[in-house]
Structure 1
């Protein structure tokens, strides 16, 4: 995360699509008991230590543009995305500034097993460069390290909607919970359908219109038409990525959900020179790799709020290309 939060993402091939996209729960049940279940994943003091240790190691990785160092402090999807961001940094010879978290609030759920996890609402940067984070750390098993697993950028202070019990701890929501407008585990499929086939796609109606849903689809379609006018054909499909879904109960009995999509893009051109490895793809393949074909893999993390009734609102994301192959 340290590497990519400070290295600005520039547009993808065609200078269109990145801008458009940028505009597992353990424990709990679908209806939590009145009395808290499980034990807190860790104390808030321990969570602060995890965050401080993460920042120190991430800064070392950033100074050396060393993706290998991230393996000790991150897990996928965050690891793959931030490793790609460091490759971009090396390619453009730009090291990230020092990472420092401020105004952090921890949301520690009560859990009954592993993976254990917790969330943190925090910020980096100052003034106009302030950036909010919805960090999610996980621990795979007893004695395993705490690793940053997800960090979508919320467009608002979405985590302050999380409900806390009388001891200040949060409640996890099962991915299959049925007391919500849509089960958290089905959000990724609905979102993928919307971005691939539009708001009228099956299941897509559970998502509210907005910059990261219906407006992104419109921008993608416009981007495809623009590229076609330049002699480039683009095919783009989204699917749920194979990662756990995490969710916390909110004050209105809804849920705040972290989930991930995979985007596969295929660019093709009949004439050489129409395609180039540029923008967010730099560092993932040689600059001259794309002659008449370019295939990319992108991961997109999302943060969404799901009400008990109504439509889910997507209010946070982090997008990064992680692979590119030209021919």
Structure 2
């Protein structure tokens, strides 16, 4: 999206390394084989929601307007993009204009609120093209449609979503038993892996990859590099306080949107080792980090869960949302 800057996990001024919520009770029973509920909206309405979002986000980016951003986004997207907006306002660099192409909508049948739908779309062109797995929510009847999540998938994971004869998708409940891992359990499994490694309890449900085992290795290597420079880093991940959303796939699996929170603590024995830089710009005064820095980071993920086997994480959007230096 237009106001964000996608930056891998940044250790202030020192190191860059690669790290870079539940379906509501309205979910249909995918096991029953009989469609339940009604469409969240029509495809024409979904296109209108996407167009309105793009218009609003472009206005927010041009004017560095948090108020406008709040009119088109909901958390966790709002908190993350507001932090990105603060960064751009601080460095005085407006984001490029956002426009979507190659859009496909995935509209579930629902039996209650919040209503929601997903969209696969591409922004940018050529080498600058970026795929999106957008998730919009509507809190209640008549409320605006707001972007709640948009992890960047490395592949078109949403093309696996199953559609019924009417072209509608099937939502998957957070605690279903017919998947390799229930969607509600994915955040804790992923948080355990990134905090304690692939051998942590429950982490075996996730396949090795750039956003799982390789991220853990990069974090551990980063800690070693920092230690050699007189900086201690501790990092812990936990499930975010947001709903998990999931859609049934053609192989009876699911694609799942979920969020983790990362808490980082940096400490140095001498001043000058830490700095508010990179992804943290705009979140704290530039010279506030003297010997300690604490940050809060939100990370959105998109995972594909099979009926049997290990879940694969294909999408991610990471952004520091708070920083405090002493």
What TM-score do you get using the length of structure 2 for normalisation?
Answer: 0.97
Partner of 2:213: 214
2:283 paired with 1:305: no
Provide, for residues 245-294 of structure 1, a one-character-per-residue CA deviation record: whole Å limited to 9, x for no partner.
Answer: 00000000000000000000000001001000000000000110000000
Displacement of 1:32: 3.0
SS in 2 for 1:263: strand
**Does the C-alpha gap of structure 1 residues 15 and 167 become closer, same or farther in structure 2, counting only changes over 3 Å?**
farther
CA distance in 2, matches of 1:42, 1:29: 15
Which of these residues, 9, 22, 25, is aligned with residue 23 of structure 2? 25
SS in 2 for 1:168: coil
CA distance in 2, matches of 1:203, 1:141: 35
| Gaps in structure 2 of 5+ consecutive residues | none
2:237 paired with 1:252: no
CA distance in 1, matches of 2:308, 2:270: 51
Aligned residue pairs, count: 323
The answer on whether the counterparts of 1:30 and 1:179 sit within 8 Å (CA) in structure 2 is no
Displacement of 1:194: 0.2
Provide, for residues 197-250 of structure 1, a one-character-per-residue CA deviation record: whole Å limited to 9, x for no partner.
Answer: 000000000000000000000000000000000000000000001000000000
CA distance in 1, matches of 2:69, 2:118: 19
1:87-98 to 2 correspondence within 5 Å? 87-98=86-97
Partner of 2:281: 282
Partner of 2:77: 78
Provide, for residues 114-161 of structure 1, a one-character-per-residue CA deviation record: whole Å limited to 9, x for no partner.
Answer: 110000000100000000000000001111111000000000000000
- Large movers: runs of 4+ above 4 Å: none
Displacement of 1:68: 2.0
Partner of 2:319: 320
SS in 2 for 1:175: coil
CA distance in 2, matches of 1:251, 1:34: 13
What TM-score do you get using the length of structure 1 for normalisation?
Answer: 0.97
RMSD: 1.1
Displacement of 1:2: 2.3
1:123-202 to 2 correspondence within 5 Å? 123-202=122-201
CA distance in 2, matches of 1:9, 1:231: 24
SS in 2 for 1:300: strand
Partner of 1:3: 3
The answer on whether the counterparts of 1:239 and 1:262 sit within 8 Å (CA) in structure 2 is yes
CA distance in 1, matches of 2:37, 2:99: 32
The answer on whether the counterparts of 1:30 and 1:176 sit within 8 Å (CA) in structure 2 is no
The answer on whether the counterparts of 1:13 and 1:276 sit within 8 Å (CA) in structure 2 is yes
The answer on whether the counterparts of 1:280 and 1:321 sit within 8 Å (CA) in structure 2 is yes
CA distance in 2, matches of 1:29, 1:110: 7
Displacement of 1:31: 4.2
CA distance in 2, matches of 1:40, 1:189: 31
2:63 paired with 1:67: no
